[in-house]
Amino acid sequence: MKKLILAFILFAGAAVSDDISVTSAVDKNVLNSGDRIILQVTVSGNSSPALKVPQMNDFNVYSGGQRTQSSFSFVNGRMSSSTSVIYDYTLNPKGPGKFTIPSFTVESGGKVFKSAPIPVEVVKGAAPPPQVARQDGAAPGTGGNDLFVQVNLDKNRVYVNEPVTMTFGFYNRVSLAGQPQYTPPDTTGFWKEDLPPQINSSRNGYNVVELKTALFPASPGQYTVGTASLVCAVPVRGQGDDFFGGFFGGTRNVRLDSKPVLVTVLPLPEEGKTADFSGTVGKFGISAAVDKRDAKTNDAVTLTVSISGTGNVKSIAEPKLLLSDEFKKYETVSDLNINKGNYEVKGSKVFKTVLVPKKAGRLTIPSVKYTYFDPADKRYRTISSDPIILNVAQGPKEESNYANLTSMPQAEGVKVFDSGIRFIKPAYRYTLGRALLYKSPLYLIITLLPFFAWISVLGSRKLKIRREENAVCFKASRAYSNALKSLKPLGTQAQKFTREEYLGRLEAAYAEYIGNKINRPPAGLSVDEISKLLSGKIKEPGLASSAVGVFEELHFQRYAPSGSENKDLNELLSLIKEQINKLEKAGL
Amino acid sequence: MNQTAKILILLLLSSFTAFADQGFDAANKLYESGEYSEAAAAYGTVISSGNACAEAYYNLGNACLKDKKVGLAILNYEKALRITPRDADIKYNLEFARSFIKDNAGEDAAAKFLAGSYGFLTLNELCVLFSAAFALLMGALIFRVYRKNEFSYWLVFGVSLLFAIILLFFGARIRDNEINNPAIVVALSVEAKSEPKDSNPAAFTLPEGKKVFLTSRRDFDKKTGQKYAEVLLKGENIKGWVTLDSLAEIK
């Protein structure tokens, strides 16, 4: 069997041609007598005319039936299609020797196409087994023990659009001549999705080939999955047995039929059915994404909504986008991906919509909702994607339009996601708090200090100037008080001084008074000078001469020899005081 | 007198040293762990125990804002800003808190700039500046006593001009401080009446966090004893009576 397939693959390439070609192939060229050759003749081309089988006297020929294959090939971008009809034969050589399988011919449009003859050598080996015809009582292929087919459904009560997995199983424990031909069951009322690959396994001594198909019922009601049939060539080891095989005899085409299966399709429950339910049944999830979260006004943003899961993915309808006026929405394109792994119909439908934000700010694309029916839980489920927030900046005004959809990469500045308050301060500084300085007296005093400084500077300055300008006047004004001050100790503490000292102080005080008054230094005043200056200052007659007389008296007392006319010192003191008072009153 | 000396020393130290004590730290920890109302109470204790620093008011404002008390938040930010008027964080958060109230008396950029420069210095800083300017003026005058020339003439002229400007500014701020009594609406939504009577209908409403000026007039409803204060809205130039407990004074 395997070799046969290999041979077919080898020669399949030759089948692709513009004209008809006939090729023949055998599984082996050298064989033992009693062995058999499997011959495959392929007629390929645009049409499939009848094959003329040559006379083969050296072999017992069993027909294995025929099957048709269509192939499409793409060569340099051009598609060509061709149909191949493959005829299977089993040849049993009648004896040892060298033989030739003659050419098979086909006539089409007046042309004759031939296959190449194949030389075959049969060597004498083990004695051929006795060929027993139809030994087994029960005819194989009647659904008995050796061959049978089965159609199973994984469930018989389903909801509309709920996937049903149909499994066609072919069980055999005999070798087959040629490829069996499968006719799938009638599945009217279902949408069909094949689930390759076929499963080959062995169970309880049977070779089992299983083909799985997903069925989606389209509407409620009672449905029948019809009979699936398989025609296979079963070699019959009996000569001249042409009961089934017709001309060739020796093989039988056995037709195996499965039993029809009833399916009850339930309508979807009305309870919980929402208005936006689109009829999708299965188990799904939804997600939404945008190609960028930071956009500008009039900038295109692609929203991708993906609904994926298990179920009839093709029936997923476009979910409704509940967009505000802040967006301009363009047409949605969808993309379907179906994945049949693990013998389930899975996949996703992706809806892409171009949105253009019309105003700046934080715009929200609301969550996209989709409702489907979950047959496992027997209830409706609404799935929703997360809402998407777009930060839309003010872009250039309307001049760029739809045509300029491809967004250029842009340098990104600071992105503010949350403009909350600033954080607390970890430590504090001593501050005045809420005490007010201007209300404190100390502040006022300190503030006013420079003012006092200025005032005192100003005052002292003025005083100094005045002193400089009127030094004479100042001295004269002070003369009287100074004289009294220096005379005072002489009155109270007379006994401390000697007569000499006493007289000296008395004269000095008097001389200073007169000197201050007439703006002359007291030392070195001559009597003449004094009388001259005093008489110029004093209007009162006699006063100036008496003042000079006092001077002369003092001189006399100091320098006269002792013992002669010693005047009492107190008398002299009061005389001087009296004289000073007189001078003062006279306005000196 | 002693108090004033302390203030003066602190004024000199204020810009250099940062402190933290237990109460302040504990309140900060409460804030960081998200217990905002507890943190607000803790900051309140810090302030009432004598540490009325700007940071405490600022953090208290944050805690109030996180606790969704916009009025109290604005109140405490305002108090903090009176102490440190150039703090950017306080200004930012105050602006943020104000963005929650729909205040129709918006300020334009020029008014904002003027208000900003008017309040650039604290009253105490202005006091020191005034004293310094006065001392400078006196110094210039003393200089002129000794050097009676053209230079000293212009020196005295210039310093006098500077002093006059500062004096005007200082006077205006002191007058402002003495006369105006700003307050923040801390109740959720306050109705102002045209007379201090419970039975009077509302004349206008005030949003939480709105800054108003208390005039000196206080009165109460003769029947219910509800205390009322007269408030002035400077931007809108309207007056009305609101219940006293719906306001908190900034000063």
CATH number where A255 lies: 2.60.40.10
Q: Domain of A33: which CATH number?
A: 2.60.40
CB A394 within 8 A of CB A297: yes
Which pLDDT score, from 0 to 100, does residue A248 have? Answer: 46
> Both A384 and A298 in a single domain?
yes
3-state secondary structure of B190: strand
Q: Provide the percentage of residues in chain A whose pLDDT is more than 70.
A: 81
Residue A113 has pLDDT above 80, yes or no: yes
Q: How far is A420 from chain B (nearest CA, A)?
A: 8
CATH, range B182-249:
2.30.30.40
> Both A197 and A93 in a single domain?
no
Closest-CA residue of chain B to A436: B124
Q: How far is B74 from chain A (nearest CA, A)?
A: 12
B3 vs A contacts (CB less than 8 Å): 435, 440
Buried b (16+ CB within 10 A) or exposed e, A475-512: ebeebbeebbebbeebeeeeeebeeeebbeebbebbbb
Interface residue A72 vs chain B (CB under 8 A): no
CB A334 within 8 A of CB A352: yes
Beta strands A30-32; A118-123: pairing state: parallel
pLDDT digits (tens, 9 = 90+) for A83-109: 778 888 888 887 788 888 888 888 877
3-state secondary structure of A395: coil
Q: Do domains B2-102 and B182-249 have the same CATH topology?
A: no
Name the residue type at position A8: F
In DSSP notation, A132-146 reads -SS-SSSPTTSSSSS
> Both A214 and A312 in a single domain?
no
> Both A33 and A118 in a single domain?
yes
Cα separation, B11 vs A138, in Å, equals 119
**Residue ranges in chain B whose pLDDT is less than 50:** 15-16
B40 vs A contacts (CB less than 8 Å): none
> Both A159 and A109 in a single domain?
no
Q: How far is B112 from chain A (nearest CA, A)?
A: 21
Residue A403 has pLDDT above 50, yes or no: no
Query: Interface pTM (ipTM) of the complex?
Result: 0.78
Residue ranges per structural domain of chain B:
2-102, 123-179, 182-249
> Both A478 and A560 in a single domain?
yes
- Give B37-43's long-range contacts (Cβ < 8 A, gap of 24+): B37/B63, B37/B67, B39/B63, B40/B64, B40/B67, B40/B69, B40/B72
Instruction: Indicate whether A503 belongs to any domain.
Output: yes
Closest-CA residue of chain B to A460: B145
> Both A260 and A287 in a single domain?
no
Closest-CA residue of chain A to B2: A442
Question: Cβ–Cβ of A428/B138 closer than 8 Å?
Answer: no
In DSSP notation, A411-466 reads ---PPPS---PPPPPS-B----TT--GGG-HHHHHHHHHHHHHHHHHHHHHHHHHH
Cα separation, A496 vs B154, in Å, equals 64
Closest-CA residue of chain B to A457: B142
Confidence bin at A138 (pLDDT 50/70/90): very low
Domain boundary among A377, A393, A409: A393
3-state secondary structure of B43: helix
The domain tally of chain A equals: 4
A441 vs B contacts (CB less than 8 Å): 1, 4
> Both A262 and A300 in a single domain?
no
Residue A14 has pLDDT above 70, yes or no: no
Instruction: Indicate whether A581 belongs to any domain.
Output: yes
Question: Cβ–Cβ of B96/A429 closer than 8 Å?
Answer: no
Which pLDDT score, from 0 to 100, does residue B175 have? Answer: 92
Interface residue A447 vs chain B (CB under 8 A): yes
Cis peptide before A197 (omega within 30 of 0): yes
- Which of B1, B53, B177 comes nearest A429 by C-beta? B53
Q: A246 or A294, which is more confident? A: A294
- Which of A422, A442, A447 comes nearest B5 by C-beta? A442
> Both A119 and A157 in a single domain?
no
Question: Cβ–Cβ of A446/B131 closer than 8 Å?
Answer: yes
Question: Cβ–Cβ of A447/B134 closer than 8 Å?
Answer: yes
Residue A408 has pLDDT above 50, yes or no: no
Instruction: Indicate whether A51 belongs to any domain.
Output: yes
Closest-CA residue of chain A to B61: A424
**Angle, helices B22-32/B54-66, rounded to nearest 10 degrees:** 20
Domain boundary among A342, A377, A393: A393
Mutate to test the interface with A, among B33, B98, B124 (most CBs of A within 10 A): B124
Q: How far is B58 from chain A (nearest CA, A)?
A: 7
CB A383 within 8 A of CB A285: yes
Cα separation, A117 vs A41, in Å, equals 11
> Both A18 and A83 in a single domain?
yes
CB A164 within 8 A of CB A155: yes
Which pLDDT score, from 0 to 100, does residue A143 have? Answer: 40
Q: Provide the percentage of residues in chain A whose pLDDT is more than 90.
A: 3
pLDDT digits (tens, 9 = 90+) for A273-320: 877 787 788 888 888 888 888 888 777 888 888 888 888 887 888 888
> Both A113 and A168 in a single domain?
no
Alpha helices in A203-355 (DSSP H): none
pLDDT digits (tens, 9 = 90+) for B79-117: 998 888 888 999 889 888 888 776 655 567 787 788 888
Question: Cβ–Cβ of A429/B130 closer than 8 Å?
Answer: no
Report, as an integer, the average pLDDT of A216-225.
83
- Write down the CATH superfamily of domain B2-102: Tetratricopeptide repeat domain (1.25.40.10)
- Which of A423, A427, A433 comes nearest B83 by C-beta? A433
> Both A242 and A292 in a single domain?
no
A459 vs B contacts (CB less than 8 Å): none
Which of A127, A160, A407, A399 has the alpha carbon at shortest distance from A267? A160
Domain of A103, in residue numbers: 2-123
Domain boundary among A393, A415, A438: A393
pLDDT digits (tens, 9 = 90+) for A190-220: 888 887 777 888 877 788 888 888 888 888 8
